[in-house]
Structure 1
């Protein structure tokens, strides 16, 4: 990994980074714990400077963003191919790839400045199981590159109905979309049920993940493709 982040520079940046929950980081990321720490530094320093993460989010990076994203792996089977759409600064895709090195993860993001950031992080952390793809989930080019994956993930991208229209075409029949949502996820399912069905989505359900790790529950909506 690069020396892009000298420890003194990081500490003196005045960014108010959250204290590291060391035991939890080791537990969640295992052999990739040091890479998770380096990713935290990328978010706390570079992502804030580049406008990818709001400065007010910096104190919450570990629990609200990095570990919150990693626990999505509880809803994903082994040795699968995942597309993370609207990946932004790499959430949840990069923490997921770090916590679950058995997964192959595509980071799908339309904005150049974000894909540039993602490519730099992937190279710096030597993430051989991560591929950055520039484009929108609904683009023909993206469908040709990553279509037929096992799982599509997303976080804070769009309302559930719109997410289903974007996500499910990328998933093979029998695959699933796994979308991080808030406590109102059940209401979104009810509101957008017809759109989900039209997108060939089956049996939408809300699942809580990370309950043994995080104080604040993390909810994901899982929808299977017909």
Structure 2
């Protein structure tokens, strides 16, 4: 119980720092997600982070850090039912977290590893998230999803991300790559080899995490 209370306090402080409004139901679901991830990880090795104490900052808060930036872009475009695609989602990071915080978003978590999409399906059922969808397969082999934002937390180079996931972006939509340091070399290569451009690099401040994080927004040349 003490650990659960501590996790709840840490989550509340992180949400406040990130300007995210969490009601009791969303907070409970986020902590439930971490508990399920820790439990599944013992058997299925979904992530190298082994315990809930570390998962809070390195996974949950790291994923929450993009919630407000994504919402601000979608609000500007007045999308009625936003569609988000999380490529190389792994255990649902950040897709499952976004689905909890924004139940009005339809979130598709795509991964080529079946045990990881099985976990996402389990989470969607256990936490009653009808807006969370697990997609098992390789992104380049899928029919275009036409997502408003395609995001990746740990995919690959920006060139690979744009080449493989770009076809799933709806007209006027965006690619958003979660990175550590600003990847200027990757941006230069991207702009030399593709018609995608880095329109903005947004610094992310992750509560409790002493590491550099940024969100690289990519748009097709000629679009805003």
TM range (shorter): 0.7 to 0.9
C-alpha distance 25-205 of structure 1, shift in aligned 2 (>3 A): closer
2:170 to 169, 172, 176: 172
Q: What is the correspondence of 1:77-116 to structure 2 with a 5 Å cutoff?
A: 77-78=74-75, 79-116=81-118
Alpha-carbon distance between aligned partners in 1 of 2:137 and 2:68, rounded to the nearest angstrom: 27
Secondary structure of the structure 1 residue equivalent to 2:110:
strand
Query: Aligned residue for 1:14?
Result: none
Does the Cα contact within 8 Å between 1:186 and 1:206 map onto a contact in 2? no
Does the Cα contact within 8 Å between 2:91 and 2:116 map onto a contact in 1? yes
Gaps of at least 5 residues in structure 1 are 1-6, 12-16
Does the Cα contact within 8 Å between 1:74 and 1:209 map onto a contact in 2? no
Deviations 1:61-114 (A, max 9, x none): 111211111221222224421000111100010111222223210111122111
Q: Given the two structures, how large is their TM-score scaled by the length of structure 2?
A: 0.81
Secondary structure of the structure 2 residue equivalent to 1:89:
coil
C-alpha distance 204-57 of structure 1, shift in aligned 2 (>3 A): farther
Deviation above 6 Å: which 4+ runs of structure 1? none
Q: Given the two structures, how large is their TM-score scaled by the length of structure 1?
A: 0.80
Q: Tell me, yes or no, if structure 1 residue 151 matches structure 2 residue 149.
A: yes
Aligned length: 204
Gaps of at least 5 residues in structure 2 are 76-80
Deviations 1:161-213 (A, max 9, x none): 11111121100221101111011423321233223xx2x313443111346x5
Does the Cα contact within 8 Å between 2:182 and 2:201 map onto a contact in 1? no
Q: Tell me, yes or no, if structure 1 residue 60 matches structure 2 residue 54.
A: yes
